[in-house]
Amino acid sequence: MAKKLLIKVTAGVDAPERCSQAFTVAAVAVASGVEVSMWLTGESAWFALPGRAAEFELPHAAPLPDLLDSILAGGTLTLCTQCAARRDITEKDVIGGVRIAGAQVFVQEAMAEGTQALVY
């Protein structure tokens, strides 16, 4: 049975190593043929906006825009509804391919058979 990887990232520039780890794991999983659903929550919500990933820097880490592009090309990228609302981010603001959804959808994905959830 194929497994799905559900990744929730809560960190952004406030915890760059944790943030980079989440994006790296998601991109590697996509490249490996794993079905990936990545959720941007908390400070990572900002990466749903155009240009924000390019502002992120972490020595010895893959560039965040490249990781983001890989995830968008082969996986699902979701921005948390409440996190978006707290930051005044709307669907018209986000980069192409990003959906906005809430906890009900996250729980539904997490509880699906064959799903492994990781939180960073």
Supply the DSSP symbol for 49: S
Q: Are strands 98-101 and 35-40 parallel, antiparallel or unpaired?
A: unpaired
- Supply the pLDDT for residue 2: 60
- pLDDT by residue for the chain (120 residues), tens only, comes to 469 999 999 999 999 999 999 999 999 999 999 999 999 999 999 999 999 999 999 999 999 999 999 999 999 999 999 999 999 999 999 999 999 999 999 999 999 999 999 999
Mapping DSSP to helix (H, G, I), strand (E, B) and coil, where does residue 30 land?
helix
Mapping DSSP to helix (H, G, I), strand (E, B) and coil, where does residue 17 land?
helix
Exposure string of 56-88, with b = 16+ CB inside 10 Å and e = fewer, is: beeeebeebbebbebbbebbbbbbbbebbeebe
Q: pTM, whole model, 2 decimals?
A: 0.95
Q: Which residues does residue 38 pair with via DSSP β-bridges, in sequence order?
A: 7, 77
**Radius of gyration, alpha carbons of the chain:** 13
Spatial strand order in the sheet of 76-80: 98-101, 76-80, 35-40, 4-9, 115-119
